[in-house]
Amino acid sequence: MKTDTQPENPLLQEWKTPFNIPPFDLIKPGHFKPAVEYAIEEARKEIDEIINSGEEPGFHNTVEALERAGSLLNRITPILFNLNSSDTTPQLQTAAREVSPLLTAFANDITLNPDLFKKVRAIYEKKDNLDLDAEQLILLDRRYRSFIRGGAALHEAEKEQFRAITLEMSTLSLKFEENLLAETNDFTLHLTSEDDLAGLPEGVREAAAGLAKERDVKGWVFTLHAPSYVPFMQYSDRRDLREQMYRAYVQRSFRGNEHDNTTLVTRLSDLRLQLARLLGYNDYASYALEERMASTPGEVNSFLARLLEASSPAGRRDLHDMEQYARDLGHTGRLERWDWAYYSEKLRLERFKIDDEALRPYMPLGKVTEAVLGLATKLYGLRFTENSNIPIYNSEVTAWEVHDGDKGVIAILMLDFHPRKGKSGGAWMTGFREQSRADGQRVIPVISLVMNFTRPTQARPSLLSHSEMNTFLHEFGHALHGMLSDCTYESLSGTNVKRDFVELPSQLMENWSWEKEWLDLWAMHYETGEKVPENILNRLKESLTYNEGYACMRQLSFGLLDMAWHTLQEPFDGYIVAFERNAMASAELLPYVDGACMSVSFAHLFSGGYAAGYYGYKWAEVLDADAFSLFREKGIFDSGTALSFRHNILEKGGSREPDELFRAFRGREPSADALIERSGFNRL
């Protein structure tokens, strides 16, 4: 791998590390641009060999060769973009900005190459006579469609327009993410009086004191990162401070400063429309949904409308109950958005005798980690061994070998749990290397889970809320999809599936967070060793449908906003706040907040790949509720059901169509009945 032109660049050298993991300690931001430039040139040579081959175009010498081309580039780029999200610096952000247009231009050079497209099209047109297996047919179909969707059939002038649009889109998406991170980091609530902490549990106070100490100030510091923001909104008795925190959160990147995303949102929306129109679609959603299970805007909108109709009575009931409860506690005036989490947590405690903070001592992060990994052992026979010799990108990260019986190590799993200045908010699964087969041997994937959980303090370990534990399970479901993948081609492996199918494994895993049979195995008080009392576990399960109407409508409002942006058929020309309020109105229950704008911080849509796809979370809930109903019928640890899910879903990645995979597991088409039942919408 070492080259004469870049001998000192670790990105281009052979990695003599365990499992060929990137040598993070040797890689510097300045290495990325020259390494990517070199790798692109190597990839061009590989592409030229395909084009200039004198052989008759065939699946192996064209489609499969194209799949393998650019392997060096594919080794380098995940490192840059993963670090830019999980452990960034200004230097890394600069590197990402420098590299992104190079990658976009190169991708366009492939799909817009007429000679290459001619070969791929010739193979596609005779695919029925090539004796290809199912995965090969999927690869051929995806490759051909990627050319069409990548502008291969456009005229030369249109191709140049396509290049300009995609280049600008890639640059703006990166800028959107940078701005949002800067805005999230920019705000702090610094408190110096005990009176300001009224209602906050001791653990929340300790964490805030720890943040203050880190920043060398007296008192307590709260931020907009989830482990600080969420419990503050749930427990602070100081309504004025809750309002201050809420307004800061919803005004991120909407303050008219250098990190304002308003122009980026409208420009990205317009560029996406231009792209779609150029390729012959009415709007961007029509273009994007062509590659989804729900294949048209009409199908998505009908799906959202059906769920909205089913959930609205429950949502209005939830709002009425909350308003009445708040009045009973002395609240006057209308219920505002900064009141919801506060009264919701109090009512949940009163109704079910369950307090998220009271559950934390039973869910220390170390024990949760052991339990989540142990669940994969129980279901799929996997065994996890921490290996301190595996390179990591931050000292807080841990690396694990994933063993599968006599198959040995089948994956490497990295766990990155806590917020820091260079890490984006939220939680996600990603990969430094995806699974594939090379020379008949399985290439093991390197999977990373990046989260923002409550940090430990001097007095106590990191204690997770039930919601945080649920997030861990969700992302671990994605990890299983990546780790258990057993496909030939990298572009079809793991989570490389249709966007509205990718959330099935993750959301399925969430179901165990409510199951007494699993929680009873491990949830113990970190000091006394006492198990969670049985009556609390029972009430936890009973609380599953608590405020589910409100929660469903809130999620649907995000899907409606997504579809509104991406079904525009004319360039956006209006006030962004008015536009989004109109889009979300049918699913909103609480008053609007002046100065708030969601679109400018909606990273899923404008920097995260979910454009015209946010409905997929609810779509996948239909699939996961239906799938888990089989586990409930057979037993939540039933090995036969787990083996079927592994074989038919997790191992297959995108090597089959998702509806085919679901039918193979469930024995029929998916039904929304299980979701409606689980949500309690049919029990009003």
pLDDT tens column, 598-614: 999 999 999 988 999 99
pLDDT the model gives residue 683: 64
pLDDT value, residue 8? 87
- Which two three-digit tokens encode residue 388? 């301190």
Distance (Å, whole) CA 450 – CA 424:
9
Whether 3 has a pLDDT exceeding 50, the answer reads: no
Least confident of 327-331, 388-392, 438-442: 438-442
pLDDT tier for residue 440 given thresholds of 50, 70 and 90 = confident
pLDDT at 2 over 50: no
Amino acid at the residue 438: A
H helices of 187-257, in order, are: 202-214, 226-235, 239-250
Give the residue-averaged pLDDT of 182-210: 96
What's the chain's Rg over C-alpha atoms? 25
What is the percent of the chain where pLDDT is above 70?
Answer: 99
Dist. CA 439–CA 445, nearest whole Å: 16
Kindly write down the DSSP assignment for every residue of 242-298, as one continuous string: HHHHHHHHHTTT-SSSTT--HHHHHHHHHHHHHHHHHTT-SSHHHHHHTTSSS-SHH
Cβ density class 264-280: b for 16+ within 10 Å, e for less: bbbbbbbbbbbbbebbe
Architecture of domain 10-153: Up-down Bundle (1.20)
Percent of the chain with pLDDT over 90: 93
- Provide CATH 1.20.1050.40 ranges for the chain: 10-153
Residue 98 known to be catalytic: no
Catalytic residue among 475, 490, 510, 580: 475
**Tell me, what's the pLDDT at 681?**
86
pLDDT band at residue 523, thresholds of 50, 70 and 90? very high
How far is CA 59 from each of CA 64, 142, 565, rounded to the nearest angstrom?
6, 13, 39
| Statement: residue 6 has pLDDT above 60 | no
* Average pLDDT of the residues of the chain: 95
Q: What is the pLDDT of residues 459-513, one digit of tens each?
A: 899 999 999 999 999 999 999 999 999 999 999 999 999 999 999 999 999 999 9
Structure confidence by residue, pLDDT tens digits, 46-88 = 999 999 998 999 999 999 999 999 999 999 999 999 999 999 9
Report the candidate in 672, 548, 566 with the shortest Cα–Cα distance to residue 614: 566
pTM: 0.93
